Structures are given as C-alpha cells and as structure tokens.
Structure 1
Amino acid sequence: MPVPEHHLPRIPVALSSSSVYPLGVAETFSTAEDLGYDGVEIMVTHRAETQQASVLNEHSWRFGLPVLSIHAPTLLLTQQVWGSAEDKLWKSAELARGVECGVVVAHPPFRWQGNYAVRFPELVDEIEERTGVVIAVENMYPWRAGGREAKMYLPHWNPVPFGYRHVTWDFSHAATAEDDSYENMKALGSRLRHVHLTDGWSNGFKDDHLVPGHGNQRVQEAMQLIADPEFGDGGFQGAVAVEVSTRAARNKVGERERMLAESLAFAREHLGQQG
C-alpha cells in the first residue's frame, strides 16, 4: 500500500525522477527523503521499475514518501514504451491508480499520430471519467528550424486556449516557446492541476530545465500566484514537481543534491511554506 497523503502541505513539492536521471527510482526516493521533499513524480521510461506499482509502492513505504504524479511515456524517447499512444495513457492511469495518486502528466499528441491525435481530447475525457485519474496536458513549445516553425503538435503546443479540463505547466517549455508563464497560469485558473518547477532562457529551441530563478521566466511571481488561497476556484488543487536537469552535475560530488536542495528551498519560500 502506498503512503497516505493526509500529512502533506496544501501544495506539496515533489521530486521528479527525471531530475536524478540517469539514476533510478530508488535514488529518486532516497534523494527526495534526504532533502525533505513531500513526494515524488515518476516518469515512465523503458526501465521496468518505473512501470510497476508494486515496486513504486515498496519504495514509497521504505522512504515514507508518496508518488504524487505519474508522467506518461509520451516523449519522443519513450515511443517504444507500452505500445500504442492510446495504450500509454490508459496504462499510465492504471499505474496512477495502483500507487493511489490522482494525476497523470501527458504531452499533447504529435500531428503524425493519426487518429490518436485527432481524438486525443475525447480520449482524455474518457480516461478521466472511467478511471477517476486526472490527465493534465502539458504545455510544450514550437520546433524551429531555419527561422521557420514546424507544426509538430495537434492542435497546438500550448494547451491553454483549448478545452482541456486539466493542464500541467512547465516553465522551461514556456521559456523555449518565449511565452509568459505567469500570464498563462493566471489564465488557466482552476484548470491548472500540476506544475513542473524549473526555469529556462528564451533562446529559440534549447529546453534548459534550469534550477528555478536561473532563467528569465517569472517563476517567483507564478509560485506566489498559486500559493494564494483565492487562486482559481478555491485555491490551487495540485502539486509542484521539481523537474530540473542535473546531468551536467553527475561528475561533481554533491552538485546534484545542491541543485535539488536549492530548487526545493525556492519552492518553499515562494509558496509561503517557510517558518
């Protein structure tokens, strides 16, 4: 059985397993426990340990931390995981149920994914209704080449103007898109269900996933926005998951932990959770 969540703060802060890559699930839980995170987000990959509720629940009990979100294998690098694009969403929702977390993060479909891309909004609604799990569609960014934008996502890389009931907002993706996170999160209101805490520079294509405060996004203001109990309809109802790239720190002793501790301290400060 997974760890109950009733001891969590109103807005819990999770550590994404992508933040410790190429290390695995055990290291994610261990690092999160050592640094004082409230839980973890698991990105489903080709590694079997990310796909099995029994394994995740065992780690959850061992380290005393819940799984707060599942990231579906909807990245280009995980196209071979769990079969068809539709199966990826269904299996992610079932995994979320197995670890008793209520949120699955999913990227919008690629235009070349045919019928799946066309019926994606309908599929999201169906999965939510049948499983009780929220599918929070994540903002992405335009792909640019030779000064032109390639239309990769259907209907768009930004889910905000469309009818998704639940959205994940990622600051690094917003930076790459040269978008304003604060204004988009404000516009989402109660539709904002999950946040990937990171940062980036508006530089065209590079998806930086920096420690928050190290880029040019309005991260501080956005965290203070969702910390307001009057945000949306009755306050922000989701979690904040730290998703920063630490791969460059893998050969520097303690550097990964320092980056993740700084990210957590940033979240605590601007969500008003200090003291």
Structure 2
Amino acid sequence: MRSGVGQLREGGQAGDPKIPVALSSASVYPLSVHDAFAVAQDLGYDGVEVMVTNNATSQNPAALDQLSQRYGQPVVSIHAPTLLLTQQVWGTAWNKIEMSCRMARDLGCSTVVVHPPFRWQSNYAENFAAGVREMAALYQVHIAVENMYPWRVRGREALAYLPHWDPVGQDYDAVTWDFSHAATAGASSLEAVQALGSKLRHVHLTDGSGSGRDEHLIPGRGTQQCAEVLQHLAGNGFTGSIVAEISTRRAKAAGEREEWLAETLRFARQHLGAPLVGAFEV
C-alpha cells in the first residue's frame, strides 16, 4: 500500500527542487478527512497531512490510500494522536507513535509529527528523545517533534511539556515548526528556524497575533515572520514539506473556507518562489 508521496505533480520535471505545499486535514475541521483530500485537489495543493483523531478514516491506512489515489494527493505526513483531545486514540503514548510510524510506512510517506510529552507523562518523557530516535530508525521515517508553547494559569507560566515546549537545543533529530505555536509562546520563528538548521524537517504554515491563544491564522495576518522563513527555507536547501494548518472552523459563507485555504497556498508558493499554478479561483 502506498500513497505515491514523492511522485511529481503534473507539469513537474525530474529533479525539480520545488518544496511541496500540502494541506493538513485539521485545516478543514469540522469537515472530514475525505473533504481534506477533495479540497487539496481542487485548490492545487501538493498533498495532505493526515491528523489521526477519533475519526475512523484517519486511523485506516487502506481508506487513506484509496482517498490518495482517488484525488491524486499523496499523504506527505502523519500527525500522531498526541494531542490532549486524542488521548484515547491508540492507547499508550509509545503505541500512538508506533502505530503512526506503521501508517506512514504503509502509505509511503516519511514524516510523522509528534508533540513533546506532557509533564504528567514522566516515564514516557524520561526516555522520549532516545525512544523517538529508536522508533524512527526502526520504521525508517522522520519523527519530527513539534514546537509547542507554555501554558499560563492566572497570568503565570506553567510547565506543561517535558523536556520543554521549545525543541531548539533539544536532542531531537527532526523538528516540526508551527508558526501559531511560536506566536503563542512569544518566540521568533525566523530565529528558531535558523537555529534548528538541518534538524528542521517539517513546517506547519499558519500565523498568530501573540495574543496568548493558539489562533492558527492565515499566514501574513499575524505577527510571525512567515514570509521571511519561507524565503529562508527556499534558499537553504530545505528538503521537507510545508503544510497549511490554519483554522477554518469559523468559516460561514459559501466558499469562505476554500478562499482562506487558497490564500494560504498562494502565500506559500509566492514566498517559496514556486510558480503560481493550480486551481486558485474559488
């Protein structure tokens, strides 16, 4: 079973260095995983990141492969169910990661996105970096640990993640960088991406205003240096994927969700220096 990740989009040439821009299934919530593949095809994205949730399709590699083939959208990454809202999916923390790695292998994609351990997962956290490295080697995938942000209780910062919410300086081989999480943390994405260097494997393209909430705004509508980061990556041999992960749950008017996702794709392609091709009119 395979989704065909790595196959060229129509019109591409062998050896084309274009950085793929994919769509996270989280970006169409509360619509379905099926809708994510359909929207990605309609708007001209290069693939889909599947966030594993309570939704049965998101947990089923055979069903995902069928959607991938039907819509011509490779699965570029699997987001493991390591969120608070998915604690009941696939059992223990290590089982969540292993099942996600198996799914990535079955679908032919090479990246699994995980969050750092919560502080109450002390046994899991103690061997997290070494365990992730071992699991990645076993399944021949990149397990990219995502940046998070400090939790604040009554205005004071609370320790929520171990070893830290910030992956910069941690003993990880691969990292996912999320602009919205950076805005919530008050971090500079450009400085972090430069510091991570070749450890940066994956990017969640979104934005935030720095309000303290995880907003997942359209890139360019917040305070993060999204354009500068994309330009930096385009000029520095980045070999991973850019994944649109904006929130569209408040979309109300007909076609509004698609307009926001098309704007995000235009932003990515513009600042990566890629040709603006695809179905951008919605």
Q: Could you say which residue in structure 2 is the equivalent of 1:240?
A: 242
C-alpha RMSD of the superposition:
1.0
- 1:4, distance to aligned residue in structure 2 (A): 4.7
- SS state at 1:220 partner: helix
- Provide the residue aligned with 1:104 in structure 2: 112
Cα contact 2:19–2:240 (8 A) shared by 1: yes
For 2:268, give the aligned amino acid.
A
For residue 38 of structure 1, what is the aligned residue in structure 2? 46
Mapping 1:155-234, distance limit 5 Å:
155-204=163-212, 206-228=213-235, 231=236
Task: Return the TM-score normalized by structure 1.
Answer: 0.96
In 2 relative to 1, CA 253–223 (structure 1 residues): closer, same or farther, beyond 3 Å? same
Instruction: Give the secondary-structure state (helix, strand or coil) at the position aligned to 1:112.
Output: coil
Deviation at 1:10, TM superposition (A): 2.7
| Alignment gaps of 5+ in structure 2 | 10-16, 277-282
| Residue type of the alignment partner of 2:218 | V
Size of the aligned set, in residue pairs, is 268
In the other structure, the counterpart of 1:148 is 156
Residue type of the partner of 2:77? S
CA distance in 1: counterparts of 2:5 and 2:215, whole angstroms? 34
Opposite residue 6 of structure 1, the aligned amino acid is Q
**What TM-score do the two structures reach when normalised by structure 2?**
0.93
Using the TM superposition, give the Cα deviation of residue 141 of structure 1 relative to its aligned residue in structure 2, in angstroms: 0.2
Amino acid at match of 1:191: K
- Secondary structure of 1:126's match? helix
Paired position in structure 2 for 1:261: 262
Deviation at 1:129, TM superposition (A): 1.0
Query: Structure 2: which amino acid aligns with 1:134?
Result: H
**Structure 1 residue 203 displacement after superposition:** 1.6
- Deviation string, structure 1 residues 67-115 (Cα, Å, up to 9, x no partner): 0000000000000000001100000000100100000000000010121
Output aligned runs, 1:15-164, within 5 Å.
15-164=23-172
SS of 1:153's equivalent?
A: coil
Distance 1:274 1:216 in 2: 26
Q: Could you say which residue in structure 2 is the equivalent of 1:2?
A: 3
Deviates more, 1:32-41 or 1:2-11: 2-11
Structure 1 residue 26, shift from structure 2 partner: 1.1
Q: 1:206-255, CA deviations, whole angstroms, 9 ceiling, x for partnerless residues?
A: 00000000000000000000000xx2xxx111000000000000x21110
What is the rounded CA distance, in whole Å, between the counterparts of 1:83 and 1:145 in structure 2? 29
Identity %: 57
Kept after mapping to 1: 8 A contact 2:18/2:274: no
